[in-house]
């Protein structure tokens, strides 16, 4: 069974919307959001997928969530059926960290043979061959120091080298302060990331914060030759589930 996040207690977070970030921003897609994560970003905007009661990993909100209300299990076949019902030709698999459930995802995609597959990942988990063969695009978001994760957990050299060599991978770095760019530049230099596949994204869960940070982030992107991405869904729907 797949373990999914919920939009409301007992309601799996499978929905249709515009992709809000990265190279396919604005595309009409179906989303499936899985629960559980192997990292713990202090600013995570989907903490309900992992920061359950009893989890002592820090989050800036201090809020914890009831696991029973925020997780639901579906068979791979049922999840695929719900995705197919939206009639989209692309599905975005997100989380949490979806590659923690790679085997069940591969089983789900057996029931969706004609759909393009986009996976959003923190880049720390190697996708197995059974799933990798179905993936159209990886949106890889390595977590910088300001995420609060230890570098040995979040920035695994062997995985960063893997994504640098993977033509389907786009790197999305979350930027909260101008100084975060130093870490991005070091990673790009160390691993040889294709600048055309590197996106800078402001950290924020409201339009005012995003617009404020974009004012100084845009010149940095231009200076260093990186791409920049907004968070379209935040402007359209706010920081809400199922959007």
All structural domains of the chain with their residue ranges: 2-237
Report residue 61 as tokens.
Answer: 């909100």
| Cα 238 to Cα 234: distance, rounded to the nearest angstrom | 4
pLDDT < 70 stretches in the chain: none
pLDDT at 38: 98
Are the C-beta atoms of 80 and 98 separated by less than 8 Å?
no
Distance separating the N- and C-terminal Cα atoms of the chain:
24
Strands of the sheet containing 71-74, edge to edge, are 11-12, 2-8, 71-74
Report residue 133 as tokens.
Answer: 């063969």
Are the C-beta atoms of 61 and 48 separated by less than 8 Å?
no
Helix then strand then coil, in percent of the chain rounded to 5, is 35, 25, 40
Are the C-beta atoms of 50 and 160 separated by less than 8 Å?
no
pLDDT at 15: 98
The length of the chain is 243
Dihedral (C-alpha) 45, 50, 56, 57: value to the nearest 10 degrees?
-50
Domain covering 2-237 in this structure, CATH number: 3.20.20.70
pLDDT at 2: 98
| Cα 135 to Cα 110: distance, rounded to the nearest angstrom | 12
Q: Who's near 87: CB < 8 A, 6+ residues apart? A: none
Report residue 148 as tokens.
Answer: 């609060």
Report residue 4 as tokens.
Answer: 């999914």
Tell whether omega for the bond before 44 is within 30 degrees of 0, i.e. cis.
no
pLDDT for 127-178, tens place per residue?
Answer: 999 999 999 999 999 999 999 999 999 999 999 999 999 999 999 999 999 9
């Amino acid at each position: 069974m797949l373990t999914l996040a919920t939009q409301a207690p007992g309601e799996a977070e499978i929905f249709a919307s515009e992709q809000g970030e990265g190279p396919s921003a604005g595309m009409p897609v179906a989303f499936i959001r899985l629960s559980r994560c192997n990292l713990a970003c202090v600013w995570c905007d989907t903490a309900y997928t992992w920061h359950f009661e009893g989890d002592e990993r820090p989050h800036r909100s201090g809020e914890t969530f009831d696991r029973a209300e925020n997780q639901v299990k579906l068979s791979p076949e049922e999840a695929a059926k719900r995705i197919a019902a939206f009639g989209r030709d692309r599905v975005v698999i997100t989380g949490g960290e979806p590659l923690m459930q790679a085997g069940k995802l591969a089983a789900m995609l057996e029931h969706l043979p004609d759909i393009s597959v986009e996976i959003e990942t923190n880049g720390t988990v190697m996708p197995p061959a059974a799933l990798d063969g179905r993936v159209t695009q990886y949106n890889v978001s390595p977590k910088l120091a300001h995420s609060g994760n230890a570098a040995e957990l979040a920035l695994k050299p062997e995985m960063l080298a893997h994504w640098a060599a993977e033509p389907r991978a786009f790197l999305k770095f979350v930027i909260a302060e101008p100084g975060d760019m130093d870490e991005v530049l070091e990673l790009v230099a160390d691993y040889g990331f294709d600048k055309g596949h590197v996106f800078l994204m402001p950290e924020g869960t409201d339009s005012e914060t995003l617009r404020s940070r974009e004012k100084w982030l845009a010149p940095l992107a231009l200076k260093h030759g990186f791409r920049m991405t907004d968070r379209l869904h935040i402007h359209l729907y706010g920081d809400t589930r199922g959007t």
